[in-house]
A and B are shown apart, each in its own frame.
Chain A
Amino acid sequence: MTQADGTFSASTVLRFARGTRLQFDRVRERWFIQAPERVFLVDNIAAEILQLADGERSLGDISTILHEKFTAPYDVILADVLRMTRDLAEKQVLQTV
Chain B
Amino acid sequence: MTATPPPPMSLLAELTHRCPLQCPYCANPVELETRARELDIATWIRVFEEAAAMGVLQVHFSGGEPMAFQGLPELVQAASRLGLYTNLITSGVLLTAETLKPLYDAGLDHVQLSFQDADPNEAERIGGMAGAQAKKLEAARLVTEAGLPLTLNFVIHRQNISNVPAMLNMAEQLKARRVEIAHTQYYGWGLKNRDALLPSRAQLEETEEAVAQARLRFGSRITVDFVTPDYYADQPKPCMGGWGQKFINISPAGAVLPCHAAESIPGLTFPSVKDSSLEEIWYRSPLFTLYRGTDWMPAPCRSCSQKEIDWGGCRCQALALTGNAGNTDPVCKQAPGHSAIQQAIADRPETPPPLIYRRYGNIKTTG
| Residues of A near any B CB (own CB < 8 A) | 17-21, 23, 25, 27-28, 32, 34, 36-37, 39, 90-92
User: What are 6 A-B interface contacts by the 8 Å CB criterion?
Assistant: A27-B53, A28-B7, A36-B149, A39-B9, A91-B220, A92-B149
Known: A17-B149, A92-B220. A39 touches B109 (CB 8 A): no
Q: Which residue of A lies closest to B54 (CB)?
A: A27
A18 to B85, CA, bound (A): 12
Chain A residues with CB below 8 A from B110, complex form? 19, 36-37
Partner of B87, one of A21, A37, A90: A37
How many residue pairs at the A-B interface have CB separations less than 8 Å?
A: 51
**Shortest distance between the CB of B268 and any CB in chain A (Å):** 28
Partner of A90, one of B177, B178, B220: B220
A45 to B177, CA, bound (A): 28
A36 and B178 contacting across the interface, CB-CB below 8 Å: yes
Partner of B177, one of A27, A32, A36, A39: A36
Question: Would you call B147 an interface residue if the criterion is a C-beta within 8 Å of the partner chain's C-beta atoms?
Answer: yes
**Shortest distance between the CB of A60 and any CB in chain B (Å):** 25
Question: Would you call B83 an interface residue if the criterion is a C-beta within 8 Å of the partner chain's C-beta atoms?
Answer: yes
B55 and A27 contacting across the interface, CB-CB below 8 Å: yes
Known: A17-B149, A18-B149, A19-B149. A39 touches B87 (CB 8 A): no
A39 and B58 contacting across the interface, CB-CB below 8 Å: yes
Q: Which residue of B lies closest to A23 (CB)?
A: B83
Question: Would you call B90 an interface residue if the criterion is a C-beta within 8 Å of the partner chain's C-beta atoms?
Answer: no
A37 to B12, CA, bound (A): 12
Question: Would you call B112 an interface residue if the criterion is a C-beta within 8 Å of the partner chain's C-beta atoms?
Answer: yes
Chain A residues with CB below 8 A from B57, complex form? 23, 25, 32, 34, 39
A22 to B158, CA, bound (A): 41
Flag B51-66 by CB within 8 Å of A: 1 or 0 each. 0011101100000000
Q: Which B residues, 91 to 127, have Cβ-Cβ distances below 8 Å to chain A?
A: 109-110, 112
A25 to B6, CA, bound (A): 14
Chain B residues with CB below 8 A from A27, complex form? 7, 53-55
**Shortest distance between the CB of B14 and any CB in chain A (Å):** 17
B54 and A36 contacting across the interface, CB-CB below 8 Å: no
**Shortest distance between the CB of A15 and any CB in chain B (Å):** 12
A23 to B149, CA, bound (A): 18
A32 to B112, CA, bound (A): 22
A32 to B83, CA, bound (A): 12
Chain A residues with CB below 8 A from B220, complex form? 90-92
A37 and B7 contacting across the interface, CB-CB below 8 Å: no
A37 and B148 contacting across the interface, CB-CB below 8 Å: no
A37 to B7, CA, bound (A): 18
Question: Would you call B317 an interface residue if the criterion is a C-beta within 8 Å of the partner chain's C-beta atoms?
Answer: no
Flag B140-178 by CB within 8 Å of A: 1 or 0 each. 000000011101000000000000000000000000011
A19 and B148 contacting across the interface, CB-CB below 8 Å: yes
Q: Which B residues, 1 to 24, have Cβ-Cβ distances below 8 Å to chain A?
A: 7, 9
A19 to B108, CA, bound (A): 8
A45 to B87, CA, bound (A): 28
Chain B residues with CB below 8 A from A21, complex form? 85, 109
Q: Which residue of B lies closest to A90 (CB)?
A: B220
Known: A25-B57, A34-B58. A92 touches B177 (CB 8 A): yes
Q: Which residue, of A19, A21, A25, has the highest number of chain B Cβ atoms within 10 A?
A: A19
Partner of A18, one of B112, B147, B151, B221: B147
